[in-house]
Amino acid sequence: MPKYVIEREIPDAGKLSGEQLKAISQTSCGVLRNMGPEIQWIQSYVTGDKIYCVYIAPNEAMIREHAKQGGFPANAISEVATIIDPTTAE
């Protein structure tokens, strides 16, 4: 199944408290439960003004629907073509 990186522009995301991040995560997980097992949240990276999320889903439309239902921005959605890491250099 395709893997996607979602860029979410959220001003001051890096300043969100642990409780705020927990609430966002709970909202996301609730939407995912309702949408079914085809879409999965792998992890997210919080930066200064953005959150980058990694999801597995059958298509981009499902990623957009999750964002809509959760009230999250999805400013850019990119399908992962391949993954590299330091072992790729070997």
SS (H, E, C) 25-64: HHHHHHHHHHHCCCCEEEEEEECCCEEEEEEECCCHHHHH
Assess if residue 88 is contained within a domain: no
Q: Read off the pLDDT of residues 46-89 as tens digits, 9 standing for 90 and up.
A: 999 999 999 999 999 999 999 999 999 999 999 999 999 999 99
Number of domains in the chain: 1
What is the number of other CB atoms lying within 10 angstroms of the CB of residue 21? 14
Q: Which pLDDT score is estimated for 23?
A: 96
Assess if residue 22 is contained within a domain: yes
Paired with 4 in beta bridges are: 55, 79
13: containing domain: 3-82
Assess if residue 87 is contained within a domain: no
Assess if residue 89 is contained within a domain: no
Assess if residue 57 is contained within a domain: yes
SS3 85: coil
CATH number (domain holding residue 40): 3.30.70.3090
